Structures are given as structure tokens and as C-alpha cells.
Structure 1
Amino acid sequence: MFAALAGYLQVSDPEQAPPARFARAAVEAETALAELIDRAKRTRPLRARVAGCLLRRVRELAGLRELPKFLWLSPLAEVRGQLLTAGADLAGRGLLEQSEDIMFLTLDEALDASRGADLPAVVTGRRREHEREVRRRQGPGLLLSDGTNPPEVPDDTAAEYGPDVLVGQPAAAGVATGPVRIVHHPSEARLRPGDILLAPTTDPGWTPLFLTLGGLITETGSTIAHGPTVAREYGIPAVICVPEATTRLTEGQVVTLDGATGLIRMHLTQELPGTDDQCDRP
């Protein structure tokens, strides 16, 4: 939250302040809704009335979509707390090394441990695997239910555009030019207005950062994932599924991304084309 507030405080143009951008987006949404209803009225008046009612209801209630996720987390947090309490008891009896070890056991295994089963070796192996997996910079684009990662089909599309262009998947229309800011966790973000956020992936915790962004690039995701969806709602260009983008691009490097084509053009200088201020949006 403090990282997001720090970014808001750097906004010098009142028209780019989060409240102003949000208000403009609301007006644009209402205008688009009215145009859709008017277009439908010409041929299907009844359908236009029903569509208008449903679209306005969506605008009023869409914010509730996050509520179930929040409600699910409360009982999960309670379950986790109870498990850690049980883990502390097992650790106190010398059956586990530490309370967190219970998280690497199934429920049946935890019950066996409470009866004296010797499972530290099982925990150690699973913890080692877990630590290895969390160090992955990028997850597989496709993973089957049996854990198989099908080999990726070679894509020669990027060769058509040259070495200074990265090719991803278009996710939110628009064009933006700005310096790249590589962020692996939202709490680490140090963004200035107009920056291009580059992340392995995003989730709802990143949303407060979006209001001052110039554009979004991610290494994974889909067009209906959280990041691209919010980008479209805020009118931010976004390109997703750019392999190894966090290593192929460098901090502060100026790029131009096209959210309609999925192309990211890398500039040779650290200066934005046509301006002396890296924070100005094109």
C-alpha cells in the first residue's frame, strides 16, 4: 500500500491523478453503454431495454466479484491457524522439527504423526521440493492434470520483426512508451507515473499500482486473468505471455508496447522518443 501511495504522490498532472482517471473511465463506460443501447434500439427495442438493464446491473454489482475470494480466505486462515497449533504440539513432542512441518503432510499423515509415526524424512523431501519450485522465475504455460508439461511448439514469429522486438499476446488495446520497471512483488514497486510495469504475473494485490501505470507486461497469464482484465478497465495497454521478459529487458529500458498487436519494441536509448522526461506518457 505504501508503494502505491508513493507512486500517487509523484503524479504532477492533475488530469493523470487516480480520481481523475477513474472519473473519466466512468464517463467513457456510460457513454459506451448508451451507444450500445441506442444501436440496439434501431432494430430490437425490447432487446435494447433488457440489455440496458443488465449492463447497468453489471456496472453496479461487478465490484462484488472480489467478495467471495475474501470470504474464502477467512475460514482458510482459521484452518491454517488450527493446523499450526497442532503442528506446534507435535513439534513439542519431538514428532516434528517445527510447527510449519505439518503443512507438508496430508491429513492422514498428520494423524499418523500424532500417533508416533516417524515422518521427518517425508517432510524434508517435500520441503526441499517446495523451496525449489518457489524459486522458479516462470511457470509452465500449460500443465496437464497429471503434472506433464507438454513441450512447447517453437515459435518463429519474433524473427519476422527483428532482434529489437519482443512478441507476446495482446491483452489490452492501446500504445504506450515508457521506462520498464521490473517488479517481482507489489511491496517492492517503486513506480513513477507513465512507467511500464514488468512482472512475472499479477494478482489482485497489484491493483493499486495500476492507476499510475503507462502499460503492463507480464511473462505469463491469459486475457481473462486479473492483470489484463484490470488493465482493460483502467484503459492501460497490456501485453502478456512474453517469455523471459524480466531477464530480456533491463530496469529503466525504454520500450513501446502495443496492446493490440502484442509487440514490444525496445529503444536503443534510455530517453523517451520526443521528450526529455521519462515520465511523460506519449
Structure 2
Amino acid sequence: MGPWKRVGEQSGDGVWVGTDASDRFPIYTRGNAGEVYPLVYRPLSFSIAQEASERAMRRAILTSGLIRPDELDGIPLSTAVGSGVFGGYAYLNLSIQRRAAARVPGGDALDADQGFLGAGDPPPHVPLPGEKNLRASLAGLRYILKLTGRTEIPELDADEAEIAEYLASVPDRETASDLELRGSSTAELIERFSGWFETHLVVSFGAGALMALLTQMCEKQLGDPTIATRLMSGLGDVDSAAPSAAMWDLGRMIRSSPTLTAHFDRGVAGIVERLRDDDAGDVAAFESRFGAFLDEFGSRGPNEWDTAFDTWETDPELALVLIDRMRLTDESHAPTVQHERLAAERAALEADVLSQLRWPTRKMFARVLRSARFHMQARERAKTTIVKAIHGARLGSQELDRRLAAKSGGERGDLWYLIEEELDDYVADPGSFSDTIAERRRVHAELAERIPPFYFDGTIPPISEWELRSNQLEPVVVGETITGLGGCAGVARGIARVVLHPGDPRGLEPGDVLVAPLTDPSWTPLFVPADAVVVDVGASMSHAVIVSRELGIPCAISVQDATRRIPDGALIEVDGGAGTVTIIALPD
């Protein structure tokens, strides 16, 4: 299962999840990991995912040849070489990514920071003996050349077929026994997850390598590295952006129907029941279309990688809140309109860029560009594939949790405060774990009150020294400019809407600027009515950048503490190319 450690001083006598830090590769970051697991791990989620993830990470790391197998020899799985959990929060190992980047021909160790960190003040890179390795560099060169010629990924096709088979084998929730639900939703997922996750990582590493190479070529050949991002805009077939188009159509249905409009004007809370009780024809048509939407995209939602959290299928109001925002948006924000505009701009830019390059540079540039686009789309497809599998396990776990909480007199969600090895005993006698669950809930709440360090070197600071989320920061003043990194070029001015959760019912009005801590695919529909996006953390491969490129809206990433310093309602200007946010006026 992986380590299950006491954290001692960090949370009294409580037991919590944690991995060991590596002496050989000591620098860790929340970058990228924070998008997948933004909140504190529940014990069950940790026990299902951590060891399988670490195995997958190690196999994927070796794929490029930039890291040699002997460099991982003797490091136990309880030591986070790829991914780890510290103080209940997910981290990635930055040191090993830096070593791989240092061995790319023409590359530098700090190139890895662009993909994982964004801005900030990360620990310096200290080259260790053996960092430069000719054999590894040659292997890496062969790997990149192979990537540029790839036009299909058979492993991804195989995973999609296997996941479809797994989902078909999940027993019916209404008739399955408790033990059948327990086996299909936890034990079987553990057995299969590592292979699926490895495919996702291999594709992701390939996309990152190609994007870095494309950026490097744009800088050296054209003098402007930001051209790489513009050449990746409006690609289409990006899975994480796909729900937005379907939600847009549902929003148009509401907008054109007085009956539906009246229902949504009353608010989203309770709307599922209200629509069910209304037999009007346009309501029935909407429910049918919304049902088809859930069949296709119901696995998506906040924190969708963790079975502990609801998705659009298990809590439809999470999706209806977003659709409600869509219906208030004018036609100029339609995803199809934006895509057509961006596709035309991208095609014109590509033709202009290629005309400036001489053969054979032009040929190589075109090849790298084509492959970078293919891998970026494949990365999102691989992510979507795994999320569907996790959702299948979620449905069984939620039903099992409901049953056992009813038997023990406990709370919904108790299941996730057990570890996988305890589940058989919990199914047999759920009431016997009440004290254990109560203590772990206490520790979870304690950890959730703290902000984990974005990166650390060697030893993570004691949890008692982490900043409290309740701490107030110095607010911005008119005329102040906060600087992060450019995610998607363009300049927009609008009202800041500070949104901490994608299901926030306050709403995002057309022309507003979305200010968020970070985003995952469940946030994507909020990008549609927004004129710009600002996120606290993020890097060149982050979700906010990918979706902003698809929709063609300015995006500033890694604008540290933006959600804590910019007040909701402030008038701000976002320069997505420079990565800056300027305060124009404060709310009354």
C-alpha cells in the first residue's frame, strides 16, 4: 500500500498520510500536482493512489532515457522520486525533472521549472556529480526525434478499451453486495491504475518536451518565444475544453425558453427537482439533452481525480451552476465563434513563421509543431480516459459509503477516512471504526487550515509553521501591478470575480475577469464568459494556459496570492503576454 506515517508534532497523536523525501533528489514542488490534487488527501485516496502513482512515475521517467535505471536503484517506493505526499498534500519531485532537463541537448536544468513552477523563488539548482551524462543525452536525443515522428499512440487506444471493459464490469450499485462494491471500486482500481497513469505520464512528458523544444526554436530562430504559445491556440479536439461547447448549447436552450428562464432565474439550488416536476415540452427537451451531457461528461468535476469528491453526474447542480452562467453570455463568447477566429489567426501566423525560415529548419520546425499539437491533444485525451475510470470507482464507493454510514450511524464520507487495508473489517463492522474516523477527520481539518509550502528542499517545514489560510495579506492599491507569467497573449480590462470553487453560485458575468487559485477541467466553462483569467499558480503546461489558448482569452498565471489580495469587484487590466495584472479601481 505504501507508508502510513505518524506526523507527531505536526498533528498531535493523529495518524496521517506521508511519504519520505529523497536525499538524492531533494527538491519538491506543488506545481502541477496542485491541479490534480489541490486539497488534502483523504486516507483512502492516498492508499489507493500513492504507490501505484509512484510506480507509474518511475517507469515513465525512464522512458526518455534521460534518467538511467541505475540512478533509481535502491530507492524504496516509500521515497518520492516521482510524486509524493507531505503533510497530506501532493507534490512532484522537481530535482529529477531538472536532471532530465539538464541532459537534453542544448537544454538547461532550470528549463524544467517553466513547466512545473511558473514564477516564484524556487530553491537553486545545485549540479551533482554525474548530472551531465553523454549516454543519457544521446538517448534523450533519440527520444525527441522519435516523438517528432509519432502520429499515433497505441497504448492510449489500448487503455481506452481496457477502461471501457473495467467500467462494464462494475456491478450494478442497486443490487451489488457490499463486498462486491468494495472490490470493484478500490481493489480492482489499484490493480489497474498504475498502467493507465503511466500512459498519461508518458504522453504528458512527451508534450512537455516538444513544447519546450518549440519554444526554444521560436526564441532562437524568430527571437520571440511567445510565438510557440500562439501557434498552439485554437487547436480543437482538446478534451478538457469539450464540455464548454455542450454547456453553451444547453445555455442557449434556457435563454430561448421563457419557462426554463423562469426556473433558472429562481436560482440553481433545488432546480433538479423543480424541472422534474414540470412536464412542459421545452423542459423535457432540456432534461433529455442534459441527461446526454451527463452520460458523456458526468465524470468531470472539481477534484475529479479523487473519488472522495462529487462530479457533475453525482451532483448535477455543479454543472447547472456553470450552464446558468453560460445562458447570460452573449453570442460573441460562443466557443465555436472563438475557435474559428483562433484557427484562422493560427493558420496565418504559421504561414508567416514558416515563410521566415529556411530549409531544412523550416521542415524541422513544421515537424516539431505538428507533433507538439498532436501530443498536447493526446495528453488531454489520456487525462480524460483515466478520469472516466476513477469515476466508475467513485460511483461504487459512494454507494458503499452511503450504506455503511447508515449502518454505523456515521456521516457520509466516512469511508474515505479508512485505508484500503482496513476496508474488509470496516464492511464487516463499520461501527468499530468510529473513533478512528473521528480522529482522522480532526487531523484532516487541521491540515486543511494550512497552506502547504509551494516547494521545499530536503525537509518540509513543520506543519505548525505553515501559513494559516485565515491570515490576511496586504491588499492591493490603485495603480499597483502584480506580475506573474504570461499564459496567453492579449489585453483585457474587466471586473475581478474572485472565485475559489467552480460551483460558486455568485456567478461570473460576461466581461468579468476570472481570478482563481488554480483551475482544473471543471473550471473550463467559467472561462467562456470571462474576458481574461488570472490564477495564483500555474506554469506553461497548466490547465489554465491550455484552455485559455483554446478560447483565445488573455491569461496571466503564477500571479502569487492574487485571490487573497485582489478584492472581488475591483476593476483590473490583464496583460496575458506580459503576465501582469494592474489595479485600475477598487470596489466601493
TM-score (normalizing by structure 1): 0.72
**Amino acid paired to 2:533:** L
Question: Superposition pairs for residues 3-82 of structure 1, below 5 Å?
Answer: 3-12=321-330, 17-40=334-357, 42-44=358-360, 48-49=362-363, 51-52=365-366, 55-56=369-370, 59=373, 62-82=376-396
Counterpart pick for 1:97 among 410, 428, 434: 410
Aligned counterparts of 2:407 and 2:329: Cα–Cα separation in 1: 56
Between stretches 96-105 and 218-227, larger displacement belongs to 96-105
Q: Do the aligned partners of residues 51 and 254 (structure 1) sit closer, same or farther apart at CA in structure 2, a change above 3 Å counting?
A: same
Partner of 1:170: 485
Partner of 2:59: none
**Amino acid paired to 1:198:** V
SS at match of 1:212: coil
By how many angstroms is 1:203 displaced? 0.9
Aligned counterparts of 1:224 and 1:174: Cα–Cα separation in 2: 18
Q: Do the aligned partners of residues 39 and 149 (structure 1) sit closer, same or farther apart at CA in structure 2, a change above 3 Å counting?
A: farther
Partner of 1:219: 536
SS at match of 2:486: strand
Partner of 2:576: 259
Partner of 1:206: 523
Unpaired segments of 5 or more residues in structure 1? 153-160, 272-282
Partner of 1:240: 557
What does the per-residue CA deviation read over 1:5-28, in whole Å, with 9 as the maximum and x for residues that have no partner?
55554455x655433222110011
Partner of 1:107: 420
By how many angstroms is 1:146 displaced? 6.7
**Amino acid paired to 1:168:** T
By how many angstroms is 1:91 displaced? 5.0
Partner of 1:121: 435
What does the per-residue CA deviation read over 1:246-274, in whole Å, with 9 as the maximum and x for residues that have no partner?
23222221011222333322123669xxx
Q: Give yes or no for contact 2:496–2:571 (8 Å, CA) kept in 1.
A: yes
By how many angstroms is 1:178 displaced? 1.1
Q: Do the aligned partners of residues 143 and 71 (structure 1) sit closer, same or farther apart at CA in structure 2, a change above 3 Å counting?
A: farther
Q: Give yes or no for contact 2:485–2:559 (8 Å, CA) kept in 1.
A: no
What does the per-residue CA deviation read over 1:186-219, in whole Å, with 9 as the maximum and x for residues that have no partner?
2336223321111121111122222332211122
Q: Do the aligned partners of residues 85 and 249 (structure 1) sit closer, same or farther apart at CA in structure 2, a change above 3 Å counting?
A: closer
Partner of 1:231: 548
Q: Give yes or no for contact 2:325–2:529 (8 Å, CA) kept in 1.
A: yes
Give the number of aligned pairs: 258
Percent identity for Structure 1 against Structure 2: 26
Q: Give yes or no for contact 2:478–2:586 (8 Å, CA) kept in 1.
A: no
What does the per-residue CA deviation read over 1:213-264, in whole Å, with 9 as the maximum and x for residues that have no partner?
2211122222321012222343322223334322322222101122233332
By how many angstroms is 1:4 displaced? 4.7
TM-score (normalizing by structure 2): 0.38
Partner of 1:130: 444
Partner of 2:227: none
Between stretches 53-62 and 174-183, larger displacement belongs to 53-62
Unpaired segments of 5 or more residues in structure 2? 1-246, 248-319, 467-475
What does the per-residue CA deviation read over 1:148-201, in whole Å, with 9 as the maximum and x for residues that have no partner?
47989xxxxxxxx98742423113233221111122222336223321111121
**Amino acid paired to 2:490:** G
Q: Give yes or no for contact 1:196–1:215 (8 Å, CA) kept in 2.
A: yes
Q: Give yes or no for contact 2:492–2:532 (8 Å, CA) kept in 1.
A: yes
Between stretches 193-202 and 16-25, larger displacement belongs to 16-25
**Amino acid paired to 1:230:** V
Partner of 1:280: none
Q: Do the aligned partners of residues 125 and 221 (structure 1) sit closer, same or farther apart at CA in structure 2, a change above 3 Å counting?
A: farther
Provide the aligned C-alpha RMSD in A. 3.8
**Amino acid paired to 1:179:** I
Question: Superposition pairs for residues 148-163 of structure 1, below 5 Å?
Answer: 148=461
